[in-house]
Amino acid sequence: MVISRIICLVIGYIFGLFQTGYIYGKAHNIDIRTCGSGNAGTTNTLRTLGWKAGAITFIGDLGKAMLAILVAWVLFHERYPEGVLVLMMYAGLGAVLGHNYPFYLKFKGGKGIACTAGFVLACFPLTAPVCLVLFVAAVAITRYVSLGSILVVISFFIQLVVFGQTGLITIPEQYRVEVYLLGAVFSLLALWKHRANIKRLLTGTENKLGGKKKEA
């Protein structure tokens, strides 16, 4: 199944290359990477181009991860009925990597939260309600989108392990460790991409949703 893992990772990366925010911006004669934080993801698109652009970017980035995972399922669910979940995770991981590090944009993409949300919904929907509640509550109370995103990826991994160990999520025994490791990779990737945000949160210089940009 090693080749199948690589195939799914590549499939995901190809889907991830569809940079919704960048494409939307170029359609309006704006390079989103030269505006705001310079990030090509949902939050910067929302701040720079408005709610409509942000919503379109979020849906597009979420959807491309789900589509990549669907393709992986279609290709391999009959051949590897017990291992297809792992292959779907590799497709989702590829989508996040393609989104975060698109080769044709000099590897300067987004932070992968919308893609990760698509992965969560497609592979582990049971963990989604807590993630959503934490995100909405964090942003509503603090107006820090980055804090909500960080809480989402941490809570997802905790839920994955707890639900996996208790049987609420069915994970074949032979793939359990790999599933947990892949789940950790998703969370660590998101935390790595938010390392500057974490520093600003700790120093009180992080930008709030709807607020003026602060200087670190």
Encode pLDDT of 149-178 as tens digits.
999 999 999 999 999 999 999 999 999 999
More confident residue, 42 or 81: 81
More confident residue, 41 or 164: 164
* Model confidence band, residue 46 (pLDDT cutoffs 50, 70, 90): confident
Mean pLDDT of 190-209: 93
Tell me how far apart the alpha carbons of residues 23 and 19 are, in angstroms, rounded to a whole number. Answer: 6
Tell me how far apart the alpha carbons of residues 92 and 118 are, in angstroms, rounded to a whole number. Answer: 8
Is residue 189's pLDDT more than 60? yes
| Amino acid of residue 5 | R
Non-local CB neighbours of 39 within 8 Å, separated by 6+ positions: 32, 33, 110, 111
Mean pLDDT of 178-189: 98
More confident residue, 214 or 185: 185
CA 57, 100, 46 angle in degrees (round to 5)? 30
Residue 148: burial class (beta carbons within 10 Å; 0-12, 13-18, 19+):
buried
Mean pLDDT of 5-22: 96
| pLDDT at site 215 | 41
Q: Out of 23-27, 40-44, 121-125, give the one with best mean pLDDT.
A: 121-125
**Do residues 97 and 13 make contact, with C-beta atoms less than 8 angstroms apart?**
yes
**Do residues 61 and 110 make contact, with C-beta atoms less than 8 angstroms apart?**
yes
What pTM was computed for the model? 0.92
Encode pLDDT of 71-114 as tens digits.
999 999 999 999 999 999 999 999 999 999 999 988 988 999 99
| pLDDT at site 210 | 67
